[in-house]
Amino acid sequence: MFKGRHLLTLLDYTPEEIRALLDLAHQVKREKKAGIFPERMKNKNIVLLFEKTSTRTRCAFEVAANDEGAKVTFLSNSQMGKKESLEDTAKVLGRFYDGIEFRGFEQNTVDMLAKYAGVPVWNGLTDLYHPTQVLADWMTIEEHVRKPLSAVKFCYVGDARNNMGNSLMIGCAKMGMDFVGIAPKSLFPDEHLVSKLRAICEKTGGSITLSDNIDDVDGADVIYTDVWVSMGEEAQFAERIKLLSPYRVTMDMIGKTRNPDVVFLHCLPSFHDLETAVGKDIYNTYGITEMEVTDEVFRSKHSVVFDEAENRMHTIKAVMIATTTDTLD
């Protein structure tokens, strides 16, 4: 059963349910490419709450809703948390809307919205999790790696305790994949999450390995990285650059996989050149021209980051259809 469900973290979904969401995402992508628009969300309204900035997530929700015949309100200056409690805000929005997306800092905010709204609430990124991104990432792997997900060796390199590290590790455990988190020990993920996921792996056939050695990308099907400093952590640049520079994804690291077909993924946005204000500031302060990935890898044949970005829209569409209509029930 999907109708009426929230998506707060993929921990709440079974492997079969994640499989069904991915299948629906592939279907809606095929439909859109064929010019078929069934408008399964006609007459529905959704609201998008953003405390943090976004390009892909906001646009994915808006375009997906438009394609499905729903109408969208974008809200970034509400009373929520300032003059009105989360509970009251959730109850009000639940009277107006058929679904609520939230992007912001605390996981507790999206959990509270879900508790009180009475309509599906979707996590569009918190400090802890970014579940809709992982669905797009798995869809992209299915398009570019000639193996079932359960046979994939997935290497996440960089800040392994951020929202992407957590969410990718959850997604791997759920789908029976081999997750290798490669990071300095001080950026290893939370031990409680790791042990919970290892217990899930016993059922799904997945595995979780943590290492501080980049040689462990050997045999990878996928190398994934994310920014070294997530939104809200901007004070950490100096320390992270020092800690993570040895973990930059370079062509040398790609070579260490010994897999000529290894796929490079990144949730984006990425600091791979000096074409951003932040990238320029970092260059002026620290003298580095690239952070988590070199421009060479980013633009190489291994990189499918723009397919991945597009798939945000198809997967978010699948999540909204599944949770606001009876399409999958």
Q: How many residues bind ligand CP (CB under 6 A)?
A: 9
Burial (CB count within 10 angstroms: exposed 0-12, middle 13-18, buried 19+), residue 213? exposed
**Shortest distance, position 201 Cβ to ligand CP, whole Å:** 26
254 lies in the binding site for ligand CP (CB under 6 A): no
Residue 137 or 216: which CB sits closer to ligand CP?
Answer: 137
Burial (CB count within 10 angstroms: exposed 0-12, middle 13-18, buried 19+), residue 163? buried
| Catalytic residue (one of 133, 240, 266, 314) | 133
| Catalytic residue (one of 58, 159, 267, 314) | 267
63 lies in the binding site for ligand CP (CB under 6 A): no
The interface partner of residue 164, options being ligand CP, ligand NVA, none and the CB cut-off 5 to 8 Å by kind, is: ligand NVA
Amino acid symbol at 96 = F
Amino acid symbol at 149 = L
Among 132, 162, 294, 324, binds ligand NVA (CB under 6 A): 162
Residue 227 or 319: which CB sits closer to ligand NVA?
Answer: 227
Cα angle 105-130-275, degrees, rounded to a multiple of 5: 85
- Choices 94-102, 116-124, 157-165, 242-250; region in contact with ligand NVA by CB under 6 A: 157-165
163 lies in the binding site for ligand CP (CB under 6 A): no
> Phi-psi region for residue 127, left (φ > 0), alpha (ψ -120 to 50) or beta?
alpha
CA 327 to chain centre: 24
Applying the rule CB under 6 A, the residues between 71 and 130 that interact with ligand NVA are 125
What order of strands is seen across the sheet that includes strand 71-75?
Answer: 71-75, 45-50, 99-103, 121-123
To the query of whether residue 59 is one of the catalytic residues in this protein, the response is: no
Return residues touching ligand NVA (CB under 6 A).
Answer: 125, 162-164, 226-227, 230-231, 267
